[in-house]
Structure 1
Amino acid sequence: MLAPVLIFVYARPEHTRKTIESLASNYLASATDVFIFSDAPKNEKANEKVKLVREYIDTLSDQEIFKSLKIIKAEYNKGLANSIISGVNEIIKLNRQVIVLEDDLITSPDFLGYMNDALEFYERNKKIWSISGYTFNLDFPEKYKSEVYLSYRGCSWGWATWEDRWNAVDWQVSDYMTFKKSKSLRYKFNRGGRDMSAMLDAQIDGKIDSWAIRWCYSQFKLNMFTVYPKVSRVKNIGLDGSGTHSGISNRYDTSLNTSTKKCEFDHPELDDEIIRLFKDRFGTRFEYFVIWNKKLIKKMLRI
């Protein structure tokens, strides 16, 4: 049985259209159940764009693109973090596994095949936390022959997981004070990227509202890994300043898979060189706060 796809949309009608159209072009689209979660506008400024998004997704039911389609429209603004946590909670208990997209992600035609095959292959491997559809363009070591690799960090740009892993997340980060005071724990958490400890601090301090950093923290606590493809099945088109939580950047541009060959999964070991290359794609703690403070200042000036 194929995993259902959850798509979280908000106020970007053109991005949403591209996300849906690329998913509809997947080989397994007609065999896949899809749930679209549409968040309500946060303020009057977002009203028109949310309306346009909802008008567009309402046209999809008659097109019979997917095996089934259910649209869930929030009556009040939940924000991305609460939308994803509550939406995944609702669907994963019925299906035991989910594939998740947001409204700014273009997928390759084999995305659904890759994700479903990976979910099946790694389900019994209790060291695997999640499956990522996205990857950076990395210069892999010549000796590295696997078609996938492992990382300490989950990815929110097209991902999948199982019910037992999802239910293991401590959304309250109940041991944060211990973590905050421990240099060794903070250093270890940053194996997935130098920004991770600073992001968790910002989350707890109320400066950001991120489900993903809390998800990654639970992954770290449980010493589990995320499987990434060597060739990306997802491209993020939202780093153009249009998103609520994203600025403008080409740091994460990647090449989308065009091969029709199925990915051959195996059980690779952690590769130190790949881990280093992966980690280097994320900014330092200083860079994180510079970017965040710039965004905060801009937001304050708009008020």
Structure 2
Amino acid sequence: MEYAPIALFVYNRPDHALKTLEALSINQGAEKSKLYIFADGPKQNVNSVDLDKIQQTRTTIEKKKWCGEVEIIYSEKNKGLAKSITEGVNLLLNKYGKIIVLEDDIVTSQGFLSFMNNSLSYYENEEKVMHIGGFLPPNQKLASTLETPFFSPFMSCWGWATWKRAWDKINLNENELHQYLQDNNSFNEYNLDGTLEFHKQLEDNISGKISTWAIKWYSSIFIEKGLCLYPHHSMVQNIGQDGSGVHSGTMYYNPYYIEKLLESETIPSSLLIEESQVGREYLKSFYNNLKKKSFRRYMIKAFNKIQTLLK
């Protein structure tokens, strides 16, 4: 098997990066893989605390040879996550034609690389398959309904892989993406049957409130009628939902926490290359339940605040 290069993007979280690298280094196939680490640089007028974190992160990634080959690409100036990822992915896809992508807060199971590489090989010439994901949110209620990998147009960027043939179709113009979805009355389907509000992420990019890449990749896959392959149980854990990341919030609890990661996954030859309705219902159920829990926590917080004011 020809192993895909791995791109890891880091910035100023040395502890997260270390856990990510330690997990990656014990993956099956890590010793046969080439790892590219893209280390973003400091922002203008950076304070001494953040500068120290950036240096600590760089010291961490230099500690050992995490994979068969390791190349570190340093940026002198801060690019931001969106630009770092799009430029890094472009660079490696132009050279290799396929890629596995991790950010500094994605801890993988030992079978993650095997699943990524096997899937990249298996679906290399299937134009409809545009993305391989390693993360599946936990849903105890419907966990038993998934027994094999499945396809969905919905994209998860927490540990993923793709090919140049697919990435070439990405549109980074948020205005054009939003306009297409609006003109084709696609917002409801695009938002997972109204479960989520992805269109607001596009609108926030348009207004300049945020600058993100993943929503544009998902939008491009959706518009191209592409599919993303999911494992039937998560092979990655996101450890960044603690407020430490530029684009991550602080959660009272982590609804994405996976107690035990999947160590291996097999793609059955009978798997149809079409959206799984069972998979769609699984994802909708998780995010609907998440919304209900978020609303309950908001109401409890508001009630407690009122009680405090009345004392």
Same-fold call, TM > 0.5? yes
**1:233 and 1:253, CA in 2 relative to 1: closer, same or farther beyond 3 A?**
same
Q: Deviations over 1:7-63 (max 9, x none)?
A: 000110000000000000111111000000000122224211001001111222xxx
Cα contact 2:132–2:228 (8 A) shared by 1: yes
Which amino acid letter does the alignment assign opposite residue 214 of structure 1? Answer: K
Cα distance change on mapping 1:77 and 1:278 into 2, 3 Å? same
Q: Which residue of 212, 215, 235 maps to 1:213?
A: 215
| Unaligned 5+ runs, structure 2 | 299-311
Residues 1:25 and 2:26 aligned together? yes
Alpha-carbon distance in structure 1 between the residues aligned to 2:53 and 2:112: 28
Of residues 222, 225, 231, the one that matches 2:224 is 222
Identity, % of aligned pairs?
A: 32
Deviations 1:169-194 (A, max 9, x none): 01124524634744822222112751
1:1-303 equivalent positions in 2, closer than 5 A: 1-42=2-43, 43-44=46-47, 45-60=49-64, 64-138=65-139, 139-140=141-142, 145=147, 147-173=148-174, 175-176=176-177, 178-179=179-180, 181-182=182-183, 184-191=185-192, 194-249=196-251, 250-259=254-263, 261-266=264-269, 267-268=271-272, 269-282=274-287
Q: Deviations over 1:126-162 (max 9, x none)?
A: 11110001111234475654x1012222111000000
Rounded Cα–Cα distance in structure 2 between residues aligned with 1:160 and 1:178: 27
Q: Distance in 2 between matches of 1:141 and 1:47?
A: 43
In structure 1, give the amino acid aligned to 2:281: R
Tell me if structure 2 keeps the 8 A contact 1:231–1:255.
no
On the 8 A contact 2:231/2:265 being kept in 1, the answer is no
Read off the aligned partner of 2:136 and give its amino acid letter.
T
- The list of structure 1 runs, each at least 4 consecutive aligned residues, that deviate by more than 6 angstroms after superposition, is none
CA distance in 1, matches of 2:162, 2:134: 11
1:251 to partner: Cα distance: 1.7
Match of 1:98, SS state, is: strand
Aligned equivalents of 2:79, 2:268: Cα separation in 1: 37
Is the CA contact 2:234–2:262 (under 8 Å) kept in the aligned structure 1? no
The CA deviation at 1:122 is 1.4
Quote the offset at 1:203 in angstroms. Answer: 1.2
Q: Do the aligned partners of 1:150 and 1:228 also contact (CA within 8 Å) in 2?
A: yes
Provide Cα deviations, 1:79-138, integer angstroms capped at 9, x if missing partner: 000000000111111110000000001100111111100111111221111000111123
Is the alpha carbon distance of 1:90 and 1:144 closer, same or farther for their aligned partners in structure 2, counting shifts above 3 Å?
A: closer
For residues 212 and 38 of structure 2, what CA distance do their matches in structure 1 show? 17
2-side partners of 1:255 and 1:265: how far apart?
Answer: 25
Aligned to 2:305: none
Q: Contact 2:177 / 2:220 at 8 angstroms: preserved in 1?
A: no
Q: Highest CA radius of gyration, 1 or 2?
A: 2
Distance 2:192 2:181 in 1: 16
**Mean Cα deviation higher: 80-89 or 176-185:** 176-185
CA distance in 1, matches of 2:28, 2:178: 47
Contact 1:121 1:265 in 2 (8 A): no
For the residues of structure 2 that align with 1:257 and 1:275, how far apart are their CA atoms?
Answer: 21
TM-score, with length taken from structure 2? 0.84
Superposed CA RMSD:
2.3
| Amino acid in structure 1 at the alignment position of 2:56 | L
- The amino acid across from 1:80 in the alignment is L
